[in-house]
Amino acid sequence: MADNKNQHFVPKGHLKPFSVDGEGKAIHLFNLAAGRAIPNAAVRKQCSHDYLYGRDAQLERAIQTIEGAYGSAIQRLVIQGADPTGLDRLVLRRFVLLQHLRTEAASVSASQIAAALAQLPGVLPDGEAFDPKAAMLEAVQAAMLFYARSMKIVDDLQMTLVRNRTATPLVTSDDPAVLTNRWHLQNPRARGLAFGVRSGGAVMLLPLSPELLVVFHDPDVYAVPHQDGVIELRREDDVLALNDHQILNCAANLYFRRWEDQTLVADAVRKAADRRQTPRHRTTYAVRDEVVGEHVRYEVRPLADIVPQADRDVLVHTETLRARPARWPRFLQYRRDGRLYSNGTRTGFVREGCLAAGFVEGDGYRRVRV
């Protein structure tokens, strides 16, 4: 059985640099539902659930090993102000993917498929109700299995440290490892397609402290000017652009160090309110209609119109709705010779590195100019 009942989906080691005086005991937060800032919340009570990872002690220890390595990297990079070692870079690369996959918001997203299926007539036995907690636990464990098998899926992304030299602090949240995609959100060719970790144009953002952030980007799509892997950020609007991603991605709470910054955070939340995706998922149901030649035609129907029929298949499609930031940091620029890969299917646009490493299935992929 797991040693700890209260298990964190954002580790205390991540929240510590954002805590009051960096001591890791109290932290200021802004709750989006309440629309107000709350001072001096206990760090130990943030971003956690009872047995989030189940009662698997081996899984819990594996996660704690990565968190411990992350804490050591933060000690060097944030507290000591050192340049990242090769080990630090590897730890941050492994941690950002783990953090992206394991949050409460990610678990809810993954459990949407089970929830959508459960709503169909005849799926659950008579008298049995859908258990969202069990679905979330199953989703978390599936995410951890994916992580164990695919942790190298982000190894082709280029890593850059961003040092915030402005008076405006970076903030973090209860879903701090942001996966976004500037090219996908801005290019008409990607309309109607989803993007994920293996997509061409992927960008991952993780704030490490109010003064430090790490960005991972697709080097075949973007050019990020840097000096020895470090960017010195001196424009406040670039910091606000990075904070905007935290606001759009978070589930409930933003976290910040100085209480005097509450007005700044509240103002940023207000400006982003219309761009947050609520709900964050959409489910579409389609019923088998007719066969046309070699193809099967499905008709989209509202859930209320679907009745159990043994001879009619039902397709269930769930998708994550991605928020669009108001601006992008200036350092994330497009390459003139940028490229992605596509085979014209719903798989969408993928990265060459993921193709080469076997993280993408299918044939017929061709280079596409950005």
Do 308 and 263 lie in a common domain? no
Tokens describing residue 236 = 């406040």
25 within some domain: yes
Residue 13 gets the label, from left (phi > 0), alpha (psi -120 to 50) or beta, of alpha
Do 195 and 302 lie in a common domain? no
CB 254 within 8 A of CB 171: yes
106 within some domain: yes
1 within some domain: no
Do 232 and 149 lie in a common domain? yes
231 within some domain: yes
pLDDT < 70 positions in the chain: 1-6, 49-57, 104-113, 121-122, 132, 308-312
Measured in whole angstroms, the distance separating CA 165 from the mean position of its chain's CA atoms is: 26
List the domain range (segments joined by +) for residue 294: 282-318
143 within some domain: yes
User: Number of folded domains in the chain?
Assistant: 2
Do 286 and 274 lie in a common domain? no
Do 95 and 225 lie in a common domain? yes
Instruction: Kindly report the number of other CB atoms within 10 A of residue 98's CB atom.
Output: 21
Do 346 and 240 lie in a common domain? yes
111 within some domain: yes
Do 41 and 183 lie in a common domain? yes
Instruction: Give the SS3 label for residue 89.
Output: helix
Dihedral (CA of 91, 92, 95, 97) sign: negative
pTM of this prediction? 0.89
21 within some domain: yes
Do 142 and 212 lie in a common domain? yes
Nearest-angstrom CA–CA distance, 235 and 248: 21
Place of tokens 């149901």: 285
Do 314 and 325 lie in a common domain? no
Residues 168-203: tens digit of each pLDDT: 999 999 999 999 999 999 999 998 888 999 999 999
Tokens describing residue 144 = 């951890």
Do 167 and 229 lie in a common domain? yes
Do 360 and 314 lie in a common domain? no
What ranges in the chain are assigned the alpha helix state H?
12-15, 57-74, 86-102, 104-118, 132-150, 182-186, 236-249, 262-272, 352-356
Do 12 and 127 lie in a common domain? yes
Cα 355 to Cα 283, 341, 349, 361, 367, distances in angstroms: 29, 9, 11, 8, 11
CB 348 within 8 A of CB 362: no
Predicted pLDDT of residue 2: 47
Q: Which of 74, 76, 60 is nearest to 9 (CA)?
A: 60
63 within some domain: yes
